[in-house]
A and B are shown apart, each in its own frame.
Chain A
Amino acid sequence: MGGSGSGARGIHHCLYRVFDGKPLGRGAMKTRIFGLCLLAVGAATLPTSPARADITPKDVQVMARALGFTEKPPTGEVNIGIVFAPGNPQSAKEADDLKTLMGTGLKAGNLTLKPVLVKIDDLGSAGDVAAFLLTDGVGADGAKLAAATKTKQKPCVTIDMAQVQSGACVMGIKSEPKVEIVVNKAAAADSGVSFAASFRMMITEL
């Protein structure tokens, strides 16, 4: 039997034969293994992407694509409400950037998203929107958004995970270095939003 007791022997054989079955002197073997280790460590210590705070075009892509996995996705030409806090420069700037980014209408397959800026205090009069896109830095005012999404039965997406944790927003996304999506199930239920089963298997649900 090739049981686990033979593991050490296997490693010995591996070290012996890994370089074509030719026995190596200790120095040569060490040199080659050291070389492999250098490769591994060298690769592993290359710098990774830096931290990021601002919303990016990739974030917007992920948000739009994720909306497509709701069970009753918006279709045709719809408004998306970009919610911002006028008193917060970061939030206001993100809102402006997003509006510029989306122009007069963002066409995505059979869906065209038209950006509409919505002040956090004006959510009640936001009109008909398919979803809310929450800018960063809204802070405690997120509770107002939660109330609005519940009333209007529309989802909210954001990169501000704290708003998802608190239940103010349905879905939070992170696009770098890997795409991560977090959905607050209670907030989703309150907003009348549910997602395709295969999508739910691949995200974090709170």
Chain B
Amino acid sequence: MTDLSWGKSAESAAAQKSRSGERIKFLIGGALLLGAVAFLIVSGTMNGARYFITVNDLLASPEEYIGQSVRISGAVDGTTIVYDSSNLIIDFTIADIPEDTTNLALTLHEAVNDPTAARISVHIENQVMPDLLQHEAQAILTGELRADGTFHATELLLKCPSRYEESIPEQVQETGV
């Protein structure tokens, strides 16, 4: 403790004066840095921002989104998956799912089996068939809607709701316990 208070009292008035000069330097430097980081984040956001919309939204006003990169989410209909493995092209259809759900597995199941649910064909190139691309998986796609009504995706995220979750006890029942 003693050495610290000694250090303080030893500072002269001249040092105090030069410190206020330093302070301005720090303030200017800090402001410049803050500005640079803010610019970086804002410009990155402008370039990288994509609307994350439902299939319904997309199909309700396609003209608004054609040619623009957006993200959509939907339930994969497994019966529609066509995989051209020598050219690495995948085509399939997704059905609309609402934004908020409490039971994702059930929502996906209902969406795929609901004939009235909005659907959109998805086309992906240069993509190895992912292990998770299967019936009633949730697909989150980044890409754009083309004029012919298909969605050309450049990025594909897949989620199987029960992947990390405990399965439902019905499975015990089904086997006739």
Do these two chains really belong together in a complex?
no
